[in-house]
């Protein structure tokens, strides 16, 4: 397919690389930051622009991969009534695109994406569209870069995004807190990385609930109290430890 990418951030970069590797033709990259657009387009061996009026009108699909708050503004400046236009956001309705095309939808990559990473991760693709033909085209495109493609409406997609925040953003924040704690206590945070990796890998063979270990699920009050004493000097961490332990104990009670 001939594709135009609107955006130069994490999602735009990783998606465009995946699409190019799958054999699709990236006709152009648009970005507000021309330098960033040129940099991405050079990697993709295509054209770039920072002007929406320069975007070619003969692509098959236009992918708006910008911040959630910028989608509507970009969409309102596009007028491709007979082309498929999608955005990549989880928490924005597909209907924000209804005035720029008769064919529109969502192409949401459910993955944490950083354009600086060298590898291209596996990405579940969540799709939706306002008509069957567009949905079929998006499904075909999605399966060209992913083995896991699911249709989800605006409400389902928002719920998936909230779950993703818990699974990724919140857990990574805990890693950051522990990295800071280890640095303060002159401990090597790298010693915890095999544990982090094993915890994630275990979910490929076990349910999360059956994989739970630790003093909370065992109701090991002696160890819990020792940990809380250690955290007297870190009141924010102590509060978080208490809340998470209570949640584990309630879940398994």
Query: What is the structure's pLDDT at 119?
Result: 80
Looking at the structure, tell me whether residues 170 and 102 fall in a common domain. Answer: no
Tell me if 63 sits within 8 A of 5, measured CB to CB: yes
* Per-residue DSSP letter, 83: S
234 phi, psi to nearest 5 deg: -130, 75
Which domain CATH number covers 196? 1.10.1040.20
Looking at the structure, tell me whether residues 134 and 81 fall in a common domain. Answer: yes
Looking at the structure, tell me whether residues 52 and 114 fall in a common domain. Answer: yes
DSSP bridge partners of 129: 105
Residue 242, domain extent: 158-252
Query: What is the structure's pLDDT at 120?
Result: 85
Looking at the structure, tell me whether residues 212 and 112 fall in a common domain. Answer: no
**What does the block give as tokens for 35?**
């330098």
Looking at the structure, tell me whether residues 164 and 86 fall in a common domain. Answer: no
Q: What is the CA radius of gyration of the chain?
A: 22
Looking at the structure, tell me whether residues 144 and 64 fall in a common domain. Answer: yes
Q: Which of 102, 119, 152 is the last residue in one of the domains? A: 152
Looking at the structure, tell me whether residues 35 and 111 fall in a common domain. Answer: yes
Which domain CATH number covers 16? 3.40.50.720
Sign of the C-alpha dihedral computed for residues 204, 205, 208 and 212 taken in this order: negative
pLDDT tens sequence across 63-100: 999 999 999 999 999 999 999 999 999 999 999 999 99
Angle at 60 between CA 59 and CA 63, to 5 degrees: 85
234: Cβ contacts below 8 Å, ≥ 6 apart: 181
* Per-residue DSSP letter, 128: E
Q: Tally the domains of the chain.
A: 2
Looking at the structure, tell me whether residues 35 and 132 fall in a common domain. Answer: yes
Looking at the structure, tell me whether residues 94 and 108 fall in a common domain. Answer: yes
DSSP bridge partners of 20: none
Beta strands in 46-185 (DSSP E): 47-49, 61-64, 84-87, 103-109, 125-129, 149-151
Q: Which of 116, 134, 152 is the last residue in one of the domains? A: 152
Query: What is the structure's pLDDT at 17?
Result: 95
Looking at the structure, tell me whether residues 226 and 117 fall in a common domain. Answer: no
**Can you tell me the distance from the alpha carbon of 219 to that of 188, in angstroms, rounded to the nearest whole number?**
28
Residues of the chain with pLDDT under 50: none
**Can you tell me the distance from the alpha carbon of 209 to that of 213, in angstroms, rounded to the nearest whole number?**
9
Q: Which of 135, 152, 169 is the last residue in one of the domains? A: 152
Return the number of other C-beta atoms located less than 10 Å from residue 229's C-beta. Answer: 10
| DSSP-derived 3-state class of residue 149 | strand
| DSSP-derived 3-state class of residue 54 | helix
**What does the block give as tokens for 3?**
């594709």
Please report which helix (H) or strand (E) contains residue 175, including its range. helix 171-184
**Can you tell me the distance from the alpha carbon of 136 to that of 218, in angstroms, rounded to the nearest whole number?**
49
Looking at the structure, tell me whether residues 219 and 134 fall in a common domain. Answer: no
């Amino acid at each position: 397919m001939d594709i135009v990418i609107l955006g130069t951030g994490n999602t735009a970069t990783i998606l465009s690389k995946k699409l190019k590797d799958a054999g699709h033709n990236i006709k152009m990259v648009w970005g507000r930051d021309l330098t960033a657009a040129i940099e991405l387009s050079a990697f993709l061996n295509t054209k770039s622009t920072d002007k929406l009026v320069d975007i070619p009108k003969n692509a098959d699909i236009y992918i708006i991969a910008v911040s959630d708050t910028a989608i509507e503004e970009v969409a309102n400046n596009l007028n491709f009534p007979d082309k498929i236009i999608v955005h990549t956001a989880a928490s924005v309705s597909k209907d924000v695109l209804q005035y720029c095309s008769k064919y529109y939808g969502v192409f949401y990559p459910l993955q944490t994406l950083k354009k600086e990473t060298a590898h291209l991760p596996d990405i579940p693709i969540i799709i939706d569209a306002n008509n069957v033909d567009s949905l079929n085209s998006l499904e075909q495109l999605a399966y060209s870069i992913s083995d896991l493609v699911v249709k989800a409406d605006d409400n389902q997609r928002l719920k998936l995004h909230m779950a993703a925040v818990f699974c990724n953003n919140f857990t990574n924040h805990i890693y950051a807190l522990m990295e800071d704690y280890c640095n303060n206590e002159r401990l090597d945070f790298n010693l915890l990385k095999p544990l982090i990796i094993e915890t994630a890998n275990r979910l490929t063979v076990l349910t999360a609930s059956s994989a739970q270990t630790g003093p909370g699920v065992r109701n090991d009050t002696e160890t819990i109290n020792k940990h809380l004493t250690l955290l007297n000097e870190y009141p924010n961490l102590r509060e978080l430890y208490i809340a998470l332990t209570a949640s584990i104990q309630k879940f398994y009670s």
